[in-house]
A = this chain, B = another copy of it.
Amino acid sequence: MNPLPSHPQGDGNMPAGASGSTAGAGNLPTFSPLYQQIKALLTQSLQSGEWKPGELIPSEVELAARFKVSQGTVRKAIDELAAENLVMRRQGKGTFVSTHHEERAHFRFLRLMPDAGVPHHPDNRILDVARRSAPAEVAQLLDLKAGDAVIYIRRLMLFDGAPTILEELWLPGAIFKGLTAERLDQYKGPMYGLFESEFGTRMIRASEKIRAVGADASAAELLGVAAATPLLFAERVSFTYGDKAVELRRGLYLTAHHHYQNDLS
């Protein structure tokens, strides 16, 4: 069956043209190019878990047959997904669902780099895991209702043994049910990898606001610096498919021997 709601194509001999198809007869009058509709369908399959992180998705020819469009149209849809880092193309092998269990993904969201030397993976020390009800401000940023259950995590990250990042995380309780300190302690690697594997929630985009602040007594002690030491403060909201917020993260970065790297273009 054709999963596309009536796009103007007949026997396959007549080009469809760029006519943005309408959604059925008398339905929503949404117009969009065919490849965008294909892209949306592919995204749905990613979101639903039909194709899981790290897995191979069907080939372009197979998808073209399934959707009854040309390979070029499927290709353009996948091109955009690849540009958004949702999938990865590998010539000769196929197209794979992106995963946070890859070296290259690790440092795309960890922007703190050493001033000298090569980037290392930090050691994590979980300080706190607790189930709480969301404060108003947290609830608003996570698109929850104030008082909804959230999981609160506090951790210290050490680079080469030196405490460098102090982070607080708030996660929607409904999604991350059963996340305990033990599981966090056992887990090696980036937290987004755990979220993806254990909770089926893959972070795909984030928005950060960065400021400079002075260390309070608690942060100063944990980071091993004097009180009022200037720290970089980053507030991050992460989103999964459908622009759904799934994490609020507030980090204090010690930038004595590290810097936040950003490339503008």
Contacts and interface: CB of A to CB of B under 8 A. Distances in A.
Interface of A: 83-85, 108-109, 111, 204-214, 228, 230-233, 236, 253, 255, 259-265
A233 B230 CA distance: 11
A80 to B, nearest CB: 11
Given A209-B260, A213-B255, A214-B230, 12 more contacts: A109-B264, A111-B264, A205-B264, A207-B262, A207-B263, A209-B262, A210-B260, A210-B262, A212-B231, A212-B232, A212-B253, A228-B228
Given A108-B264, A206-B263, A265-B205, A211 B228 contact: no
Contacts of A261: 207-210
Contact of A232 (B205, B208, B210, B264): B210
Contacts of A255: 210-213
Contact of A259 (B84, B211, B264): B211
A92 to B, nearest CB: 13
Contacts of A83: 83
Give this chain's copy count. Answer: 2
A211 B260 contact: yes
Nearest to A264: B206
B213 A230 contact: yes
Nearest to A231: B212
A264 B206 CA distance: 5
Which one of A109, A205, A207, A260 has the highest number of Cβ atoms from chain B below 10 Å of its Cβ?
Answer: A260
A236 to B, nearest CB: 8
Nearest to A262: B208
